[in-house]
Amino acid sequence: MPQQQQSPGLKCPQCGQFIPTTIAELLSAQALRCPYCGLELTINRAESRHAMEILKEVDEASKKLDQASQFKR
């Protein structure tokens, strides 16, 4: 049975609903807003520096994979 890939995002700490996002949005946005309850989650870049560096590496690897998969011989 193939493993199902989960969409990127996080659970809202206020209402518990899933907040969809992308790695690019996490890297560039100053905050995320829950589409269900409107809670604004501010991204503390100083405290999240290590996580942001890892996300950037994942984003770059994903882009390289996309480019390689479009390569035609």
Mean pLDDT for each consecutive 10-residue tract of the chain (73 residues)?
66 96 91 96 91 92 85 61
- Please check whether residue 1 lies inside any domain of the structure: no
Supply the pLDDT for residue 1. 45
**Using the 8-state DSSP alphabet, how is residue 60 labeled?**
H
d(CA 9, CA 21): 5
φ, ψ (nearest 5 deg) of residue 68: -65, -35
Q: What is the pLDDT of residue 37?
A: 97
Q: Compute the distance between CA of residue 39 and CA of residue 46 in angstroms, rounded to an integer.
A: 21
Is 21 part of any domain? yes
Domain span at residue 39? 9-69
Whole-prediction pTM: 0.67
- Residue 4 belongs to a domain: no
Domain count, the chain: 1
